[in-house]
Amino acid sequence: MATINNGVIGRASGKVGAVIASSWKSINYLKGLPKKRTKGMSEEQLIQQDRFLKISKFLMPITPILQVGFGLSKTDKMTPTNVALQLNIAQAVTGTYPNFSLDYSKIEISTGSYLNGGGMEAAVDSGILSIYWDTILNSLYKTKADDQVIILVYSPEKDEFMTAPTPPTRAAGTIDIQIPAHLLGGKGHVWIFFTDRKAEKVSKSTYLGEFDLA
């Protein structure tokens, strides 16, 4: 794939013969049309494809969260979602082909150096998920009382995600989330991370564990 600048041909767009011209983030590209595959994929290609599909199926539904969680690590040629895919395919996909699985404890939904909530805990009781974190502010990291706390819950049985309707603040120190009736009785994996109001500072996500949603 070639990269071109605006010149006599102007902005790149569309298909010309065996070449496709396109533009993304003010970068123009020329890319040859893919050749028809004349033979089956190699075993290594099948393995890589299966690993990619395993993690992308999990991450794609939470793209809005990844855009915040990995927004500071994006590059001109990689979106926040692609950065998250690259990181998690390397560390969270386990097992051997064709029976790959996800190690939820190794999945990261954000990355950064912002300070998190210190001694964070979670518990479930009577259909309520309660999460706790430290509210002490740190002058070195310039944490703020109105920092947002992003919480993610995943039910493998239902293949469904849940978040707090409105992100709580660092100053709140705790939140109670009502678990929907259709998720009760299963398991839930919980992650948490912190960000300032403008998402210009983001902490690395913390996996709080697997819980019985009862």
CA-to-CA separations, 103 to 87, 97, 130, in angstroms, rounded:
13, 15, 23
What distance in Å separates the CA atoms of residue 129 and residue 184, rounded to the nearest whole number? Answer: 11
Evaluate if residue 11 carries a pLDDT over 80: no
State how far the Cα of 54 lies from the Cα of 88, in Å rounded to an integer. Answer: 10
Q: Which of 135, 152, 168, 145 is nearest to 205 (CA)?
A: 152
Residue 75 DSSP SS3: strand
At residue 113, the 3 state secondary structure works out as strand
Average pLDDT over residues 80-102: 96
- 8: confidence class by pLDDT, cuts 50, 70, 90: very low
* % pLDDT > 90, the chain: 75
DSSP E strand stretches across the chain: 2-4, 14-16, 19-24, 27-32, 93-94, 101-102, 121-125, 128-132, 148-155, 160-163, 174-178, 187-195, 206-212
**pLDDT tens digits, 162-199:** 999 999 999 999 999 999 999 999 999 999 999 999 99
Task: Supply angle C-alpha 5, 7, 11, rounded to 5.
Answer: 70
